[in-house]
Amino acid sequence: MSDKTAFSAIDDVVDAAISSKKLVGTVVLMAKDGEIVYRRAAGMADREAGLPMREDTIFRLASVTKPIVTAATMRLIEQGRIGLDDPVTKWLPDFRPKLADGSEPTILIRHLLTHTSGLSYSFEAEDGPYARAGVSDGVDQPGLPLAENLKRIASVPLAFAPGTGWQYSVAMDVIGGVIEKETGRRLGDAVAELVMQPLGLGDTGFSVADRSRLSVAYVDGSPEPKRMSETETVRLLNGSVTFAPDRIFNPDSFHSGGGGMAGTAGDVIAILEALRKGGAPLLSQATVQQMMTNQIGDLLEEARPGFGFGYGWAIIRDPAKAGLPVSAGSLQWGGVYGHHWFIDLERKITLVGLTNTTPEGMWGSFTLDLKKAMAASF
């Protein structure tokens, strides 16, 4: 249970989201100075079956996968097995997407990690080139092999020359292919060895450890969120995301480095806290500092004022411009199944809010309200 005196503002945010039926269920954890100071499971993990949310509920993580796979990548970089300035073709010789003029630029590992490669996502445009090519965003198309998805991605012209723009993309799925080639193992096995096992974590991976603990997925709706069907298409920005919630049960589904993991809030905050505190036992402090440093100049400034991007997450360079009540240099990201997390480095606070309701739990008022509540508590 939470401390109602110290953290009543956070409790109020969670209570309001559940009572107003913006969310079906959520698990919120907050660490301060390395200690969990707030923990709350609220609402339902399976509304129809009457199963309440528990702190150890497992969620489909979507893009919360990205910082985890980034940490695995950075471990391989520290080991000298992958280089930031190595071309992707060193591991994936057939992965050669071209520019619109037909020329073939060199995509580097750093371009993938910072989303400056010129790649994109299918959901960015309703009938865009990725959708037409049948590219999977990593949360759909159960049973699709990685080799086939990489082939489809490479068939689409790049949006810009690598390093000259920023576009959220399937780049981490390509990184997954690089990791598989380098290690000779499936991505899930490599990530388990590189990230999970050193931290003693066992509930998060590319399969579900205990199906009885897996939350149902829901979509925003009125008067209450709708339970996702076997295939669910959700409008998002200028396009739509197609979900296949049972994808993770199909062992032939490629391990999506951008969105394929499932896990608990406890595991996620443990990974983020290890990085916030300096990286041990995963990474050196110097590597973590690189990850927390803006790597893209002003490439995001027009689209997202006040934001930059490091390795694995967005960086809030100017909180006033971003309109967020956090300290400069704070980190954040989320996941399209309905998740959000942030790290306020100055306050030494990490907050993870995993929900089973999209898109509210990813970028609805719930995410901003949690930040405001954190600021009110500290």
The residues assigned a catalytic role are 63
Predicted pLDDT at 125: 75
User: Going by C-beta distance under 8 Å and a sequence separation of 6 or more, which residues neighbour residue 141?
Assistant: 134, 149, 244, 247, 253
Mean pLDDT of 77-101: 98
**pLDDT beyond 70 at 1:** no
Q: In the chain, helix, strand, coil percent, each to 5?
A: 35, 20, 45
Predicted pLDDT at 2: 45
**How many whole angstroms separate alpha carbon 96 and alpha carbon 38?**
47
**pLDDT beyond 60 at 272:** yes
Predicted pLDDT at 377: 87
Percent of the chain with pLDDT strictly greater than 70? 98
Mean pLDDT of 20-46: 98
Supply angle C-alpha 362, 195, 198, rounded to 5.
135
Pairing of strands 218-219, 357-358: parallel
Q: What is the DSSP letter of 327?
A: -
320 backbone dihedrals φ, ψ, rounded to 5°: -65, -45
pLDDT tens digits, 283-295: 999 999 999 999 9
Token code pair at residue 176 = 């997954």
Residue 182 in contact with residue 81, Cβ under 8 Å?
A: yes
User: Going by C-beta distance under 8 Å and a sequence separation of 6 or more, which residues neighbour residue 36?
Assistant: 29, 30, 269
Alpha-carbon separation of residue 372 from 138, 159, 322, 350, 367 (angstroms): 32, 36, 14, 14, 9
Which of 124-138, 303-317, 364-378 is predicted least confidently? 124-138
Predicted pLDDT at 350: 98
User: Where do the structural domains in the chain lie, given as residue ranges?
Assistant: 8-59+202-377, 70-192
Strand partners, 205: 262
**How many whole angstroms separate alpha carbon 71 and alpha carbon 311?**
9
pLDDT tens digits, 156-186: 999 999 999 999 999 999 999 999 999 999 9
Mean pLDDT of 340-347: 98
Could you give the dihedral angle defined by the CA atoms of residues 42, 43, 44 and 45, in that order, rounded to the nearest 10 degrees? -40
Assigned CATH class of 8-59+202-377: alpha beta
Which of 1-10, 19-28, 270-279 is predicted least confidently? 1-10
Q: 70-192 is classed in which CATH architecture?
A: 3-Layer(aba) Sandwich (3.40)
Predicted pLDDT at 123: 84
Pairing of strands 35-46, 232-236: unpaired
Respond yes or no on whether the N-terminal peptide bond of residue 359 is cis (omega within 30° of 0).
yes
Confidence band for 4, pLDDT divided at 50, 70 and 90: low
Token code pair at residue 79 = 């080991």
Q: For the chain, first and last CA: distance in Å?
A: 19
Token code pair at residue 345 = 């480095």
| H or E element in which residue 146 lies | helix 146-154
**How many whole angstroms separate alpha carbon 340 and alpha carbon 26?**
11
**pLDDT beyond 80 at 5:** no
Token code pair at residue 188 = 């899930």
Mean pLDDT of the chain: 96
If you write DSSP's letter for every residue of 45-104 in order, what string do you get? EETTTTEEP-TT-BEE-GGGHHHHHHHHHHHHHHTTSS-TTSBGGGT-TT-----TTS--
